[in-house]
């Protein structure tokens, strides 16, 4: 779980299914994730650097929820792992997972930006 096996691929059908096939809601969730990701990543990085397990737990929990709605199961599992490290104050483990998590988050944001660009071109 410490490495990202492949670039993130957005599964629109799976995400729609998790949101009761509500395309407008999916668009809103994707937009919110893309907009919030930079601050959430900064919060996680800061929590790890400062050794603040509670802040890590909270920031990772936020990512976990959003990733669940977006059917990003591998990323969701990574966020859950980071959340657990924060809860248990295992900052060394969190530092070890951070580079892969950050890379996965950035790949996910990139793929979701492509999704939003495609939505913009829809009638």
What CATH number corresponds to the domain at position 71? 1.20.120.160
- Determine what percent of the chain is predicted with pLDDT higher than 70: 91
Q: Mean pLDDT for the chain?
A: 90
Instruction: Indicate whether 3 belongs to any domain.
Output: no
| Whole-structure pTM value | 0.86
Is 80 exceeded by the pLDDT of residue 10? yes
Q: What is the pLDDT of residues 32-46, one digit of tens each?
A: 999 999 999 999 999
> Into how many domains does the chain fold?
1
Provide the token pair at 52: 């603040």
Instruction: Indicate whether 42 belongs to any domain.
Output: yes
Is 90 exceeded by the pLDDT of residue 109? yes
Angle between helices 91-120 and 73-87 (to 10 degrees): 150
Instruction: Indicate whether 79 belongs to any domain.
Output: yes
pLDDT value, residue 3: 43
Instruction: Indicate whether 40 belongs to any domain.
Output: yes
Range of the domain at 41: 12-118
pLDDT value, residue 1: 40
Instruction: Indicate whether 101 belongs to any domain.
Output: yes
How many angstroms separate the first and last alpha carbons of the chain?
40
């Amino acid at each position: 779980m410490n490495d990202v096996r492949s670039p993130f691929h957005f599964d629109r059908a799976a995400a729609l299914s998790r949101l009761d096939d509500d395309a407008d809601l999916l668009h809103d969730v994707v937009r919110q994730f893309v907009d919030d990701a930079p601050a959430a990543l900064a919060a996680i990085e800061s929590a790890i650097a400062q050794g603040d397990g509670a802040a890590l737990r909270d920031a990772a929990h936020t990512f976990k929820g959003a990733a669940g709605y977006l059917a990003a199961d591998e990323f969701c599992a990574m966020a859950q792992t980071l959340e657990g490290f924060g809860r248990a104050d295992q900052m060394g483990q969190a530092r070890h997972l951070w580079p892969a998590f950050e890379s996965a988050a950035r790949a996910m944001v990139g793929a979701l930006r492509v999704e939003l660009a495609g939505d913009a071109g829809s009638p």
